A and B are shown apart, each in its own frame.
Chain A
């Protein structure tokens, strides 16, 4: 073989080409401007405007989105919406960044992506459509509306809101001699219960608890303690400049998590929430933390294998002054498409925010309605009467005081920050670092991310 010689030839050639390169090609520039006032563009009679809608609702909830889209398309003849599932919230947002000018007319983005969306220059603020169209925001839940209002301007339309719940196996509670109507309220109680619920049979273990390594739970447990994620009141008073998660409250959470894994009362199920859901439905872990939105999925996966219970997210101490973060996702109209298409998207957004649509959305998925009027709809009343478990989530939301902690942090690099926190949790429960060390590292890394972000977006 003469490959060695060919190799040398290739190297030489490569060097030559590389040196001849200097200053070849340049990046394309495209910027967006933010105008509050949007001139209304009417859709002419007989005209049909196409709207692409990217969302992050998979499985059952994705089918509900599709059925709503179908219903909307049938209800009028001016706008034709195409919904495209783009994977998880993270993936959908990444897809938008990657697609750039090839993006959709509107997209569903999770609450922690809000700051990025505002800074991205890719969107037309919702306020423009609201003002021009004189749409009344009075019926929207004020807590939810506030979350998406920045500097007095509504940037996106809230769509789905969820909070984390404690799901538990009532049958296992009874077996272990625990009262199934008295789920744990604090983290310490949760740990105690988990120990009692853990059952060893030879090499096999049924764990007391198990939930995914998911940064969202950390954020929620921080908020429950009234602790902030970043400085400047979670970045709501002024732009956040550094992360403050390396606090006493943060350490409490990681220590609790680590202790349960260490004494074998909780299973480490990795980062995939699906794995934890499956373990819970199979009766392999007796308690788990999950979003309110998986209730429907749990009910269909458990059937009559055991009795399901729902409760508030356990708090670090019984008398915490914080609460769960009012989050979820909202709908953004992009500026990538002609104005007419943006207005067509607004028609769809408006339709999604009606009490009738929200009532369907809520009863079929478990996401809270964003408008109060939805609770007056008969289907909502029926479901709440039949399935009291749906009420746990509403009670938890309504019991939450609105402040900068429960509003959640506003940073442009939140998705990346969440991953750093997950690294910290992982390193702690795998005994690679103490809670304090792990959080210190995460906080430093997040601060660096925030600094870089603030540098590139002015």
Chain B
């Protein structure tokens, strides 16, 4: 290895470590704050590391608010939306990729155009819709509007399009129906696309903010994001406890990322750009 290469290697690592440190700093600071006492949080200069680390804030958090219920709500909502999108998007993506039919171009344009409709435009009528059905503050309201997306349809269409036409023809000649072809051949082949969509959908649903803020009314129906927000209050910014919530609620999403990250890296672009 030449000295120039070695220098490059060292610089490369230095860059990686520096970038990683900057990116992780806010998280580390949050974690550290969550172990401090009330008085320590409001001290100047702000301490980076708790003098006497304690899990008391977590215990306090579990006692004061229904964290596990919020966790459950978020899990139910994110899983339902993920599953729903996988079903609807694979069906419609499959149709767009493999079936020839009249009005396909128009239907596809219609689908894609929904990507451009900003959420702000549909938010108010959707809210009024659920209110008039007396369905606010329910899992239905939290999940139903997100069960179908143009993005997912588009992503999976790209994956289905990579399936060789011959394969389908061969299956047809063997007497395999389209639905069976979809179920037992196309879907398994598009597995990584499905996982990509699943991981992405799960994470973005998990992190949703405005809609759950609008439609949840009771403590029992809040998702973790809204729960965390309500830990903040006017009569005293209890950052030590808020940070305990922040850190605790990050764990499930972190695990999801740990599992789905490589699929995200492979799949997101594979589907989205080659078009």
Q: Which A residues are closer than 8 A to B by beta carbons?
A: 1, 3, 6-7, 9-10, 13-14, 28, 52, 57-63, 82, 84-88, 95, 98-102, 104, 272-275, 277-278, 281-284, 291, 293-294, 297-298, 300-303, 305
Contact = CB atoms under 8 A, between A and B. Distances in A.
Interface string B103-129: 001101110110010000000000100
Contacts of B112: 3, 6, 10
A98 B214 contact: yes
Contacts of B73: none
A303 B234 CA distance: 20
Contacts of A274: 232-234, 236-237
Interface of B: 38-39, 41-44, 46, 64, 105-106, 108-110, 112-113, 116, 127, 131-132, 134, 136-137, 214, 217-219, 229-230, 232-239, 275
B109 A281 contact: no
Contact of B219 (A84, A98, A102, A281): A84
Nearest to A103: B217
Nearest to B226: A87
17 contacts: A10-B112, A14-B113, A58-B232, A58-B234, A59-B238, A60-B235, A60-B236, A85-B230, A99-B217, A274-B233, A274-B237, A281-B42, A282-B42, A293-B235, A297-B236, A300-B38, A300-B39
A275 B232 CA distance: 11
Contact of A10 (B110, B127, B237): B110
A321 B214 CA distance: 45
Contacts of A58: 230, 232-235
Nearest to B214: A98
A102 B136 CA distance: 8
Nearest to A66: B64
Nearest to A13: B110
Contacts of B116: 10
B127 A1 contact: no
Contacts, number: 111
Contact of B39 (A99, A100, A303): A303
Contact of B108 (A6, A7, A284): A6
A305 B39 contact: yes
Given A52-B218, A282-B44, A301-B39, 15 more contacts: A59-B235, A59-B236, A60-B236, A61-B235, A84-B217, A85-B230, A85-B233, A102-B217, A274-B237, A278-B42, A297-B235, A301-B41, A301-B42, A301-B236, A305-B39
A278 B233 CA distance: 13
Given A58-B230, A63-B64, A302 B237 contact: no
Contacts of A88: 233-234
A9 B219 CA distance: 45
B132 A87 contact: no
B136 A284 contact: no
Contacts of B236: 59-60, 274, 277, 294, 297-298, 301
Contacts of B109: 6, 9-10, 13
Q: Which of B134, B232, B236, B275 is packed against the most chain A CB atoms within 10 Å?
A: B236
The secondary structure that dominates the A interface is helix
A282 B230 contact: no
Given A63-B64, A98-B127, A100-B131, A305 B43 contact: yes
B230 A277 contact: no
B230 A87 contact: yes
Contacts of A294: 235-236
B115 to A, nearest CB: 10
B217 A278 contact: no
Contacts of A99: 131, 136, 217
B131 A278 contact: no
Nearest to A281: B42
Contacts of A293: 235
Q: Which 5 A-B pairs have the closest CB atoms?
A: A58-B233, A274-B237, A297-B236, A281-B42, A10-B113
A369 B177 CA distance: 76
Given A57-B235, A101-B134, A283 B44 contact: yes
Given A52-B218, A281-B42, A283-B44, A273 B136 contact: no
A189 to B, nearest CB: 26
A275 B38 contact: no
A302 B38 CA distance: 8
Given A9-B106, A301-B38, A301-B39, A277 B237 contact: yes
A249 B238 CA distance: 36
A365 B43 CA distance: 23
Q: Which of A6, A7, A28, A302 is packed against the most chain B CB atoms within 10 Å?
A: A6
Q: Which of B41, B105, B217, B229 is packed against the most chain A CB atoms within 10 Å?
A: B217
Nearest to B37: A303
B272 to A, nearest CB: 12
Contacts of B132: 28
Nearest to A212: B234
A284 B44 contact: yes
Contacts of B44: 282-284
Contacts of A84: 217-219
Contacts of A52: 218
Nearest to B136: A102
Nearest to B218: A84
A288 to B, nearest CB: 12
B239 A302 contact: no
Contacts of B239: 278
A437 B44 CA distance: 38
Contacts of A95: 217
B113 A6 contact: yes
A123 B218 CA distance: 20
Q: Which of B43, B218, B234, B238 is packed against the most chain A CB atoms within 10 Å?
A: B234
A203 to B, nearest CB: 13
A13 B116 CA distance: 14
Contacts of A59: 233, 235-236, 238
B124 to A, nearest CB: 10
Nearest to A85: B230
B175 to A, nearest CB: 36
